[in-house]
Amino acid sequence: MPRVVRSSLRKELFANPIDGLVSVLLISGVGAAGYGLIHWALTQAQWVVIQANSTLFAVGRYPIEQQWRLWLLVALVAAATGLSWGALRGLPQRDRPITAVWPRNDRIAAIVLVALCGWAPAALGLAWPIQARWWALTALLLVLRWLAGRYASRLRKVATLGLPLLWPLLYLVGMVLIGGGLGLVTVGANEWGGLLLTLIEASFAILLSAPLGVVLALGRRSSLPLLRWGSIAYIEFIRGAPLITLLFLGQNILGFLLPGGLAPDRIWRAAWILTFFSAAYLAEAVRAGLAAVPRGQLEAARSLGLNLPQALSRVVLPQALRIALPATVGQFISLLQDTTLLSLIGLLDLLGTARSVMANPLYLGKSAEVYLTLAVLFWCCCAALGLGSRALERRLNPPTLGP
Amino acid sequence: MTAEPKVAKSPAMIEARGVEKWYPNGFHALRGVDLTVQRGEVVVIMGPSGSGKSTFIRTFNALEDFQKGSITVDGIALNDDLRQIDAIRREVGMVFQQFNLFPHLSVLDNLTLAPVLVRKRSKGDVLNQAMALLERVGIAEQAHKFPGQLSGGQQQRVAIARSLCMEPRILLFDEPTSSLDPEMVREVLEVMQGLAADGMTMVVVTHEVGFARQVADRVVLMADGQVVEEAMPEQFFDHPQHERSRQFLSQIL
Ligand SMILES: Nc1ncnc2c1ncn2[C@@H]1O[C@H](COP(=O)(O)OP(=O)(O)OP(=O)(O)O)[C@@H](O)[C@H]1O
Ligand SMILES: [Mg+2]
């Protein structure tokens, strides 16, 4: 161990006897738990429950002969991820200058990705051609990441305008690929399941609740009484009710409220409820952001002749949303986790699928393996969201005077 | 507010007649204020804290509303008509005590935002003008920095340039040097002096006596929501007529 590391470790962990004692206890506790977990995972756990059902966990009962559409979609998402990642790298990071195409954190992320795609498909016992597909997808992502990072500084304008458009567009394309239409065979929503359904529900709610939340936040601060009280009533009602009751309500009430054919399918009902739920919380995050923008900003914009929509969209909201970004992403992360409640209303999302698998007598007593897998999957999705948002945040902060 | 017919260009740039304002909490902030500002004139408004100076000049570009009296800016009557308000705001620039630069935009973008959005001018055209203005206020080399990277004095000069970029006919200043360190006050006052020399119509709320003496055509003293005294600077500072003025001057001189 290099001396610097050793001395800083010493300062952080063993500065005085009490610190030292706490450190020893913590380290041995964490160590024992970690050892136990790894020991169990490697020797006692029977992962065949995951191996045998990996397709079910991934996409539910999506028809096999149509699954090429999902592969295509994953490829598109991998490409878009690579592009966005690289382009984000090229944006001026305002607290430190751009150094290399592959800074340290990115190298680590790339290595983790490669290791994951080498290990996970093999561990799941996937057939060779399928394993090769995952390698190709990872390669696609990394190559585009490299290309975009290399030319990002030249394509900055395209990146800042294109990226916010790319993802919603990809979402529309993705929905066509998943659901069919435009010449593709229809695959009904009741055939979606597993991680696929979880991600569809979460991304639908994220994409739609963001604008809705901004509108509600503006409404809450509006000087028009009707708009203001309407927004307040909505936000407070939603925030006062547990999501699960809203989900049950939605399943029952939407059917009554809307005439026969108009009532959306159960899956879309749930997606809309998630959207409405998340929008109320987002509105509060955005409201905090709006409150943090000094009054003088709006006054300066108005005194320059900007009308209210211009002043809001060009001056106030860019600042407010930047401030609200961490809380917003936090809300998205909990939204992703809240999708597990869908299993309670009988949808076969990731958790619902898992429960149906565990109900199979063949896999009796294998719930620890299943739950651990779910936890890791969710953790990966949430970590990706969190990392992306922190990278974005650092690039959006305007530079200030100082070191 | 009385509905005033839109008159053709009157000679005065600003005409305020009997302006009264109550804040929503019932506070009577302006109690019948009259003021006329001619084209090219520089009027300095002074007065103790809370006397309504900010409230008054903020009525000129409708940042504050008022309940009684009338205000005409460059021949356009200020009433509730939103289009009139937008028209007036295009012609009236305002410089604030806290600068209020847009921190998420570069200095150059701060200047070009409004001309491009509001006046619908081409970006390239505005860029040239913006650079010329930054040159004029002495910070052309900071054009690509962000407001947070500038000193207070530099920020206030950018704010002045930002207002000028809209080519206003009047500039309002609300204590433009009050939140600046002493060594930066001069650089801002020099810019303002230059503007006055070029014939810009200005209404300036300030306690800078030196500036008022040198640059102002008239000094107005407000107290308790009213105009107490209005005079030429020498007259006002050397021979104040009213007890309230003498009291105020004894505190700031
Ligand atoms: N939004 C408001 N609601 C109620 N009262 C207000 C409001 N804004 C200002 N006032 C009151 O109106 C009076 C005039 O305020 P104004 O800001 O115009 O004073 P000022 O002369 O500019 O003072 P200063 O030198 O401190 O800037 C003050 O007594 C103030 O407390
Ligand atoms: Mg004031």
| Buried b / exposed e along A162-193 (16+ C-beta atoms within 10 A) | eeeebeeebbeebeebbbeeeeeeebebebbb
| Nearest by Cα to B203 from B41, B18, B65, B17 | B41
* Residue B70, beta-bridge partner list: B17
Interface of A with B in 329-388 (CB under 8 A): none
Within 13 A of A39's CA, how many CA atoms are on the CB side?
6
Identify the closest residue of chain B to A309 by CA–CA distance.
B117
**Residue B6 belongs to a domain:** no
**Residue B1 belongs to a domain:** no
pLDDT of residue B3: 46
What single-letter DSSP state applies at residue B36?
E
Q: pLDDT for B21-48, tens place per residue?
A: 999 999 999 999 999 999 999 999 999 9
- Lowest average pLDDT, out of A250-254, A270-274, B188-192, goes to A250-254
CA distance B149 to chain A (A): 4
For the Cβ of B225 lying below 6 angstroms from any atom of ligand 1, the answer is no
For the Cβ of B206 lying below 6 angstroms from any atom of ligand 1, the answer is no
- Degrees to nearest 5, angle at CA B107 with B106 and B112: 95
pLDDT of residue A291: 94
Tell me if residue A111 falls in helix, strand or coil: helix
**Residue B59 belongs to a domain:** yes
Rounded to two decimals, what is the model's pTM?
A: 0.84
Q: How many domains does chain B have?
A: 1
What integer is the mean pLDDT of A342-368? Answer: 83
| Nearest by Cα to A320 from A214, A205, A161, A182 | A214
**Residue B4 belongs to a domain:** no
**Residue B209 belongs to a domain:** yes
| ipTM reported for the complex, 2 dp | 0.90
pLDDT of residue A142: 92
Tell me if residue B204 falls in helix, strand or coil: strand
- Lowest average pLDDT, out of A13-17, A360-364, B96-100, B144-148, goes to A13-17
What integer is the mean pLDDT of B183-187? Answer: 90
Spell out which residues of chain A touch residue B103, defining contact as CB-CB under 8 Å: 319, 398
What is the residue range of B207's domain? 12-252
Using alpha carbons, list the distances in angstroms from residue A181 to A65, A186, B169, B178.
16, 6, 59, 65
Using alpha carbons, list the distances in angstroms from residue A129 to A126, A134, A384.
8, 9, 27
Q: pLDDT for A125-157, tens place per residue?
A: 888 888 889 999 999 999 998 888 887 777 777
Pick the CATH number of A194-396 from 1.10.3720.10, 3.10.20.440, 3.10.20.30, 1.10.8.60: 1.10.3720.10
pLDDT of residue A255: 67
Q: Token pair of A217, please?
A: 């936040």
User: What does the radius of gyration of chain A's CA atoms come to, in whole angstroms?
Assistant: 24
Start-end of H helices in A180-241 = 194-220, 225-240
More confident residue, A124 or B152: B152
- Lowest average pLDDT, out of A177-191, A285-299, B41-55, B202-216, goes to A177-191
| Residue in the structure block whose two tokens are 């028209």 | B87
Ligand 1, atom 12: closest residue by C-alpha: B29
In chain A, which residues fall in CATH 1.10.3720.10? 194-396
